[in-house]
Structure 1
Amino acid sequence: MAQWIKNWTDGEWRTEVLAWVDMACEAYSLKRIGALQEATSSLRAKYLRVPTDSGILFFKAVAPGQLFEPPVTAAAANLVPDRLVMPLAIDPERGWMLSPDYGATLDGLATTPELWVRALGALGALQREVVDSEEALFDAGLQIQDPAWLPEEFNNALTLHASLPADHPLGIPARDADHAFGALKDIELACAELIAGPIPLSLEHGSFDRRRVFAPTDDKSAPRILNLGDAHWAHPFASLARPLERMRIDFRATADDPRILAAIGAYLSAWDDYGSPDELYELVAPALRISPLHTHETWLQLLADADEPQLRRWAPKVLEPLASLATATT
């Protein structure tokens, strides 16, 4: 078990959380009216429900590799308060965040094309609104994954994994690294297309799906987006990788299904001052091509402080994105 997960099960840790939560509640004239309640827990984060006299709050503790999430969430929510969940309190050093509850997320509702249209439209609008906020989000801890750097980072990643001992969980045989290196030219071409295109870098969500969107209370309210633990400052269209995968499953359809194209169109419409959806659609494929590099970086950072058992368990999450890049060229 990773050390931070052990900490989350420790009685002393929970006592510290309780004191911090009570202090935060007091600052907002709220009163906790019950014990902290278990919610979900994973390698990435620990969630607890906090019952108060004004409703449920959610406490989140993130893994050491994602300590940037609370300050980045607070900074981004300050920029676009109607599109994200503004935490009531954060502790950047401990990776803690206390947030209000906005009800059900979209994955709790019946899957419809309209839900995906609304979800992706909200994502595109959020990204479009923060394109001029790189400095603020970088200062908060958001890492940059510029397409101009990605070919070199891909090369460096393969060199890193190939240089590890054969029995290391993150090591790969030299022949496999050489095979994967065959994808470099394709990655360079994809990055060149993105660089030449009109879309600026923005907040790339990294793991966007309907679980990351609160259901709006009415037809006019913008859906609020949450969970920025996998985010980067990067080409925003890479955020479509996860939604496309999920929509193909939801609709049991191929990527050219009209329902999927309608959702992508809603997303691209948020960028209409840079071009029509038809024009911008040409950038979707190269953005999807490089998105595994974002995923690789997220998992590599997440496992930086993991012990060997956890490394062995989760190593495929680090290596699979690189393998997918190689497979796509064969």
Structure 2
Amino acid sequence: MEYYVIIARPEDGSVLALPSSDGWTIPAFTSRVTDARIVEHINAEMRRQLGFDTWTLRCAVSGEEGEHRWRIFLAASQESGKPGPSGARWTDRLEASSMEFASPAIAEAISAWFAEIDSPAQLRAPWNSIGWHDVACDWISDQLALHGYTPLAPITQQRAWGLSCTMKIGTDKGDVYFKGTPPFMAHEGRIMRAVAERCPRLLPAPLAVDAERGWLLMPDYGSEMLHECPDIARWEEALRTISMVQVEQVERIGYWLSLNIPDRRLGRMVDMIDPLIASCEGMLADGVSGLSGSEVHALRSLSMPLKLMCARLAQYAVPHTLVHGDLGGNILIRDEGYTFFDWTDVCISHPFFEMATISGAYFDESVLKDNPDAEIRLRDAYLEPWAEMMPVERLGEAFEASRPLGALHQTMTYMWILTNISPDARPELEGGLLHWVRNLLRLCGKGS
């Protein structure tokens, strides 16, 4: 895939233009990395080409022409006053408007950048702005010094997308990781600190938290991911662990709600169903890349059935508790247990919804291909700690009743995310919303 990078100068926002035989252009390279969230290699390539360091702000636009696929990213020089390569020029808005660029897409992206300087887009992630990274790095340095860590290498930006910006710092005590979240997810650091304190089996404590700015500094939690592990016994053990903690937290939901996490108890979900259906229709009603007409009709027909499903599930009297919300790819294996990380989707809700991202409809079944009964075993492991509250048979019935609503819960999570990020950042997440809407239709007998 071809990557193009608009480099902005921090002191005035002017952009670096390079001469070419077809007109003016911007730095470019062919990337083997296809995940637009990963930006470390972009900064490394800009350093190689231009001789100075950059921060990648975001992916501005992407497209394809036949087999030619491309993306244009926005980045900023880390320092003021950096000269460009021979023949290059830093160009302001007026100059850029009269220059002949090799590609109309590049010209349009540069024009959009200058327009945004005057009128920043609503709900834009903080790290999309020049200067944010410098302030974050100062905070990182202060916190490392406060905790007795000595940096051994420059701070390296790893990812930047609509939901987070992550950076890595090599230190004398091992790697340390920084994560910045958008304002509507700023509760994550506060929650992780509370989880580490009250539920230490789930998570080692972060090094530092700035809950107001949504900043987290974490030790290296390891790299052995549960969703890549073929040993089903480890899966079962991890699910028992989170389930036991959830049983313990039933009596503490008032505390967790006081930390301003979303309230998705069944009664609240009932109130959200009709607005959710309307929003999904408005956002996804596209027969080519979104919902077909028949799918939209099927979704509309689910309003009352979903409300009745919530009422039926409530009759089993399984209590609400702390729900991580996205277990599927966010469990690490460690020697003494497991680390449950990435708590941005945390809420108070029905505990059985936790299994939605673990079920065979989501995780890569090839990992547990030698266990044809994997889904049943994982369900039973998760339900085991709840057996102290009701007979196993009734738990199984409640679990089956929860399955369509688990997909509904995930749909609500994605809609919550999409309505809190800037419109041009939504395409990278709309696929997740579409996946869960279709999963919901299937589990309700309305889809293939």
TM-score range, shorter chain: 0.7 to 0.9
SS of structure 2 residue aligned to 1:90: strand
Structure 1-normalised TM-score?
0.84
Which structure 2 residues correspond to residues 194-273 of structure 1 after superposition, within 5 A?
Answer: 194-209=313-328, 211-217=329-335, 221-245=336-360, 246=363, 248-252=365-369, 257-273=372-388
CA shift, 1:277, in A, is 3.9
1:293 to 390, 403, 408: 408
**Is the Cα contact below 8 Å between 2:125 and 2:182 reproduced in 1?**
no
SS at match of 2:343: coil
Letter in 1 for 2:216: M
- In structure 2, how many angstroms separate the alpha carbons of the residues matched to 1:268 and 1:108? 19
The structural deviation recorded for 1:60 is 0.8
- How do 1:140-219 residues align onto structure 2 when only pairs under 5 Å count? 140-161=259-280, 177-209=296-328, 211-217=329-335
Task: String of CA shifts for 1:288-316, please: whole Å, max 9, x gaps.
Answer: 21122322222222223433332345334
Deviation of 1:234 after TM superposition, in Å, equals 0.4
Rounded to whole Å, the distance in 2 between the matches of 1:9 and 1:149 is 33
In structure 2, relative to structure 1, the CA distance for the partners of 1:226 and 1:276 (3 Å cut) is: farther
* 1:329 aligned partner: 445
| Identical positions, percent | 19
Distance 1:275 1:161, change over 3 A: closer
What letter corresponds to residue 154 of structure 2 in structure 1?
A: A
- C-alpha distance in 1 between matches for 2:291 and 2:394: 40
Q: Which shifted more, 235-244 or 15-24?
A: 15-24
Contact 2:236 2:381 in 1 (8 A): yes
Given candidates 123, 133, 153, the residue that maps to 1:34 is 153
Q: Which runs of 5+ in 2 are unaligned?
A: 1-58, 61-120
Q: Which runs of 4+ in 1 moved over 6 A?
A: 2-6, 163-167, 171-175
Pick from 127, 131, 156 the counterpart of residue 12 of structure 1: 131
The structure whose RCO (Cα within 8 Å, separation 6+) is larger is 1
**2:254 counterpart of 1:135:** yes
Report what 1:284 is aligned to.
399
Alpha-carbon RMSD across the aligned residues, in angstroms, is 3.1
Q: Secondary structure at the match of 1:272?
A: helix
TM-score scaled by length of structure 2: 0.64
CA contact (8 A) 2:306 2:405 kept: yes
CA distance in 2 between counterparts of 1:165 and 1:298 reads: 15
Structure having the higher strand fraction is 2
| 1:142 alignment partner, SS class | coil
Distance 2:283 2:172 in 1: 53
1:118-133 equivalences under 5 Å are 118-133=237-252
| Structure with the larger helix share | 1
| 8 A Cα contact 1:61 1:96, kept in partner | yes
Counterpart among 203, 206, 216 of residue 84 in structure 1: 203
1:321 partner amino acid:
W
Q: Is the 8 A contact 1:134 1:233 kept in 2?
A: yes
Contact 1:203 / 1:232 at 8 angstroms: preserved in 2?
A: yes
Distance 2:417 2:179 in 1: 16
Contact 2:201–2:241, Cα closer than 8 Å, also in 1 = no
Q: Number of residues paired by the alignment?
A: 322
- Residues 1:289 and 1:165: Cα distance change in structure 2 (over 3 Å): closer
In 1, distance between residues paired with 2:370 and 2:255? 40
User: Quick check: 270-279 or 140-149, which moved more?
Assistant: 270-279
CA distance in 2, matches of 1:313, 1:222: 33
Larger radius of gyration: 2
- The answer to whether structure 1 residue 71 and structure 2 residue 190 are counterparts is yes
State whether residues 124 and 421 of structure 2, in contact with CA within 8 Å, keep that contact through their aligned partners in structure 1.
no
Q: Is the 8 A contact 2:178 2:215 kept in 1?
A: yes
Question: What per-residue deviation string (whole Å, max 9, x for no partner) do you get for residues 76-131 of structure 1?
Answer: 22211232232221112221101122323334864121121122122212212222
